[in-house]
């Protein structure tokens, strides 16, 4: 069941998830332009930011923010994709100070630039470390459509940043989103 506040996020799309099968109740797809306001809404609703998880996909870097209320099984995941050549996401550390380190960790591992971050430099890796260890080879990258089970996740913001994998999300459309 999608929590009510998700309607206020200005999401490109949102899909309900089965908590027993995924651990989350809703997946909300946003863009770098809308993420900051959306996270601010979640903060007002009393959500706790659990972590910021980046992953390297064919479409670009996906950044996922996992939030849950203090009590109950109600984890919501806000996600967005940024292209590999310009991985720029606005920071949310001004809303959640705890996001500071999570974003620095994403910077360490993927080189994602969190615009407006007060101190975006190496957190876990040594300062003279070159490169970003979790970036995959182009060959090893998978498209979101290869990683997403059709039954529950509908991701419609995907096709815009890179038109190329448009052929692939065909099965995604089968999952019958209730949004437009």
Residues that bind other proteins (CB under 8 A): 19-24, 43, 46, 48-51, 53, 55-56, 66, 70-73, 75, 96-98, 100-101, 109, 119, 121-127, 133-134, 142, 146-149, 153
Give the residue with the Cβ less far from other proteins, 33 or 129.
129
Chain-centroid distance of CA 93 in Å reads 15
Of the candidates 51, 45, 55, 58, the one whose C-alpha atom is nearest the C-alpha of residue 24 is: 51
Give the ranges where 59-174 is alpha helix by DSSP (H).
99-110, 144-147, 170-174
Q: Which of 147/167 has CB closer to other proteins? A: 147
Q: For other proteins, which is the closer residue by CB, 56 or 113? A: 56
Residues facing 80 on adjacent strands: 63
- Output the six-digit token pair for 37: 């306001």
Q: How far is the CB of 121 from other proteins (least distance, A)?
A: 6
Report the nearest approach of other proteins to the CB of residue 146 (Å).
6
Task: Specify the residue, 118 or 180, whose C-beta has the smaller distance to other proteins.
Answer: 118
* C-beta of residue 115 within 8 angstroms of C-beta of residue 88: yes
The CA distance from 180 to 170, in Å, is 15
Q: How far is CA 40 from CA 4, 35, 95, in A?
A: 15, 9, 6
| Cβ 142 to other proteins shortest distance, Å | 5
Q: Which is nearer to other proteins, 18 or 33 (CB)?
A: 18
Nearer Cβ to other proteins (146/179): 146
Q: In what order do the strands lie in the sheet with 26-29?
A: 13-16, 26-29, 76-82, 60-68, 48-57
| CB of residue 98 to other proteins, shortest distance in Å | 4
Smallest distance from other proteins to CB 5, Å: 15
Closest approach, Cβ 97 to other proteins, in A, equals: 6
């Amino acid at each position: 069941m999608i929590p009510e506040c998700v309607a206020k996020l200005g999401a490109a799309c949102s899909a309900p998830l089965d908590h027993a099968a995924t651990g989350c109740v809703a997946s909300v797809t946003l863009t770098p332009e809308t993420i900051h306001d959306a996270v601010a809404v979640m903060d007002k609703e009393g959500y706790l930011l659990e972590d910021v998880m980046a992953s390297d996909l064919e479409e670009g870097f996906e950044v996922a923010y996992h939030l849950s209320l203090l009590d109950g099984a109600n984890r919501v995941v806000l996600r967005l994709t940024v292209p590999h050549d310009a991985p720029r996401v606005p920071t949310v550390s001004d809303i959640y100070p705890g996001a500071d380190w999570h974003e620095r960790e994403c910077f360490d591992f993927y080189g994602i630039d969190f615009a407006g971050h007060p101190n975006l430099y190496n957190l876990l890796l040594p300062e003279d470390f070159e490169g970003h260890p979790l970036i995959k080879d182009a060959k090893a990258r998978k498209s979101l459509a290869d990683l997403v089970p059709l039954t529950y996740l509908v991701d419609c913001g995907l096709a815009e940043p890179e038109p190329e994998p448009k052929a692939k999300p065909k099965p995604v459309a089968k999952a019958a989103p209730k949004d437009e």
